[in-house]
Structure 1
Amino acid sequence: MGLLIYSNQISVRLQYICKFIFAERLNCAYSITQHAESFEKHDGPKINYSNRTISGDCLQLMPHGLLFEKGIEEQKIFCFDFEGHKAFFKSGLGYGFDIFAASFYLISRYEEYLPHQKDFYGRYNSKNSLAFKEGFFNVPLVDIWINHFATVLQQQFPSFRYAMGSFSFLPTYDIDIAFSYKNKGLLRNAGGFFKRPSLERLSVLAGFSKDPFDSYEIMDTINHQFELMPVYFFLVAEKNSVYDKNILPGNASLQKLIAQHATQYDLGIHPSWASNENGEMLQNEKRVLEKIAGKTITKSRQHFIKMDLPETYEQLLRNGITGDYSMGSGSINGFRASTASAFYWYNLKTETVTQLKIHPFCFMDANSFYEQKFTVEQAAEELLYYYRQCRQVNGQLITIFHNNFLGNAKEFTGWAKMYKSFIAQVNAAQ
């Protein structure tokens, strides 16, 4: 018989987190009831998610209350050690803490709806998050909790069956600036040359050298050799700005590049910085990319990981996006939502479960290089660390690499070799 959960109330929040834990992560049958009598008679694994005492064999889970609230307000959170990892919403009886409420708090990004200090780029500052302050930003804590919870359930109820999915790896590439020198036009190249005179620029423009950001053959070779199914996110801002320095989408070479990739790979939109607060601009960029690619675009990742909740995700939904790949930090590597598993976005403003599926990433090359100041050797160690973290919880490792890191630019020497070596290790372990 399937798992039965008793609760005095059945809220949208409770239904959402139970579906994530039991249906999406553990792939097990479950149901929720408010009827104590039928709960007592149930001959199978049972969770009593209430403060009342119910006779019979069941796992008691004392509710914190968050899942029965509406609206957003500051929560008093005190972390403690639980089975070697941090936990909060402690309980004096039963399991030890309210795993339902704590998991909901983290994956809903509850704290990002509260007043908070922005970083230099106007983004949520991950260093102010509970996960970073309490030292668990670098682990998929929600997945660790769920794995332990499933083990406890199975120990108490040998008939409890679950089938956790297996580890998977999804490489993704952000194409912010498709070429360093080529296809930028006379004025941009002239301006760039006077700001930073370079023989390399002249050599590339004369056709004697390869553009340092042109790493597409390298990526193709890796993708085909190891049978990868990556997603490419293209920035197609129609006007350049301080943070949108892409080759303009009217350029024939960029169009050819996008069209070539569209025939082989999955593509996503990389919404420009300027479009973050302009839904019409996002709509236009998506339309431009779809026209060039010749197919519908439903995936997205914010440029510079520039996002605000709930506004950014609401805008994506209005524009036909069903999969977002922005859930990570734009400054430090780790697990922004404390999970290595995809989940549907819960809009706390409207208290609704949406159709936008969130695919969290935990490693981005730019974080290692620019923000954390890592050498390529240190970045390789960090990448392997996150691979192991995701594999241990049967999650999905999503990485972000940029074409400029994998080309022949001197400042990124060794990155392409490191990346290929990492892919080979992952492939060998499959």
Structure 2
Amino acid sequence: MKISVLADISSPRLNYTLEFIFGLYGLDFELCKEEVLPDGDSLLVYYGLKPNPIETHNCLFIPRSSLIESYFLTNDPDEFIPESDDQLFRWVDGNVEASFDLFGWVFFFLSRMEEYEFSGEDLDLGRFSYKRSFVDKKGWLFKAVVDRWCGELVVFLKKMAPGLRILGPERDVIPTCDLDIPYAFKGKSLFRLMGAALKSLCQARAGEFFFRSKYLFVGGQDPFDTLEELSQDAGKFRKKLKCFVLFPYTVEDYRDKSGQAVKNLGGSFFIKWANSIDWGMHPSISAGDKKSRIRAEKLGLEGLIDCSITSSRQHFLRLTLPMTYRALIDAGIREDYSMGFHDSPGFRAGTSRPFYWYDLEKEKATSLKVFPLLLMDGSLKHYLKADPVKAIEKIDVLIEECAITNGIFSYLWHNSSISVIDGWDRYIPVYSHLITKCTEFMKQSK
């Protein structure tokens, strides 16, 4: 059965939104103009300013607001939005009515409309903080509202047409790592190693001092040499680890300096992980949104790894729209994994599922597929300063939300974050808990 969407407007934004919603469930749809009636063998959805003008039963009406046609917003949208899931739809005289502009709000979240007009000049790296986001203001930071709305819409469509065949979506886990610095000790001078050991002693980090001293005088495995463990853990839920490598073309920002060590690794370092790791690029802060710089870093990394690079995640999650995504597209990147808040876990785009980026200024959907990031280790430890108990609580809430919505749990854990360096030893139980919960999450999908 086909879903016919009768609308009083013709808009690439509406078509983009419908492709996302119905594509999640494998549903066919056609978008019709108001004066063109669908055939009899279809389920009717009417989207317009006024109630359904067609006298028929078994129609789902979604009221259209100005949101689907808005350009950029300098303030939060004032269109009505329900506070709870039981307020989304209701039966009226044999038809179903939505209480709000579901299509407009889904487009609002996916297009990242709220990020175009914010002034990031006063923020570190100009990044979009969760504190500025609409999801945080509504108390939805840990709630996949887009996924919930789409799921409830399909539930009502199924009630209206019991024969409607729905496929998916299926839950999944995407384990990722950013390789900002491959080794903590290896390749550094004796003077630097001794200085770092003494510094850890002065700062009363006994465990770290012991580890540094042992490596200095006895040797052993470098504490950042953890890709084996990370990839094996990803294998527990039958996934390959996605690892994004910092490979700066030039270093104009001190936060890119660690990436220079990657150039000394040699191609053999990457070849041995061919069966367990998918490699992506990690555009440097120095590259910014310059497509020539990003392309140069991509070509350099491809030459080192000897394989094509089509996925990317921004260093420090530095993402500014539309410049960053346009530069990535021009450089030949097809997938981006930066869509998460740097300073908190949560659902930045209201969904855990991938979507194609819509360029608001050019008014078109693009070829860049965006994979939301729900959790980053540094957000918990550095920005929220969460102790291990609080960190585990936030992980549990996110995974539970993905279980409720049959979503995709994507996390980032650096190779340097399962070591004893810089206080990360306190977070080793947090990482272990994360892997256990992800494994259970995937087992429940069978």
Work out the CA distance in 2 between the residues paired with 1:51 and 1:221. 53
Q: Does structure 2 conserve the Cα–Cα contact (< 8 Å) formed by 1:179 and 1:247?
A: no
Report the Cα distance in structure 2 between the residues aligned to 1:313 and 1:417, rounded to whole angstroms.
36
Q: Is the 8 A contact 1:218 1:406 kept in 2?
A: no
Instruction: Mark the CA change 1:287 to 1:331 in structure 2 (over 3 Å): closer, same or farther.
Output: same
- 1:16-415 equivalent positions in 2, closer than 5 A: 16-23=16-23, 25-39=24-38, 41-52=39-50, 53-57=53-57, 58-68=59-69, 71-74=71-74, 76-78=77-79, 80-84=81-85, 94-117=97-120, 118-184=122-188, 200-201=211-212, 203-240=214-251, 241-249=253-261, 251-253=263-265, 255-409=267-421, 411-415=423-427
* AA aligned opposite 1:149: L
How far apart, CA to CA, are the structure 2 residues paired with 1:200 and 1:425?
29
CA deviation digits over 1:337-382, x for unaligned, max 9? 0101100000001001100000001111110111111122322221
* Structure 1 residue 209: Cα displacement: 4.0
Matched residue SS, 1:359? strand
Cα-Cα RMSD:
2.6
Q: State the alpha-carbon separation in 2 of the partners of residues 73 and 277 from structure 1.
A: 23
SS of residue paired to 1:413: helix
Structure 2 distance, partners of 1:247, 1:73, is 37
Number of equivalences: 422
**Greater CA drift, 250-259 or 124-133:** 250-259
TM value normalised by structure 1? 0.90
How far 1:109 moved relative to its partner? 0.3
**Shift in CA distance, 304/37, structure 1 to aligned 2, threshold 3 Å:** closer
> How big is each residue's C-alpha offset from its partner over 1:179-225, in whole Å with a ceiling of 9 and x where there is no partner?
11212457865875787676754543455243222222322432345
Q: How many percent of aligned residue pairs carry the same amino acid?
A: 27
Secondary structure of residue in 2 paired with 1:231 = strand
Change beyond 3 A, Cα 1:34–1:78: closer
Question: Which residues of structure 2 form unaligned runs of 5+?
Answer: 89-95, 202-208
Higher mean displacement: 117-126 or 7-16: 117-126
* CA shift for structure 1 position 391: 1.8
Verify the 8 A CA contact 1:3 1:160 in the aligned structure 2. Answer: no
Q: Secondary structure in 1 aligned to 2:339?
A: coil
Q: Specify the SS of the correspondent of 1:182.
A: coil
Distance 1:283 1:185, change over 3 A: farther
**TM-score, with length taken from structure 2:** 0.87
Unmatched segments (≥5 aa) in structure 1: 88-92
Deviation at 1:74, TM superposition (A): 4.0
The structure-2 alpha-carbon separation of the partners of 1:95 and 1:225, relative to structure 1 and needing over 3 Å to count, comes to closer
Q: Is the 8 A contact 2:3 2:44 kept in 1?
A: yes
Distance 1:148 1:213 in 2: 44
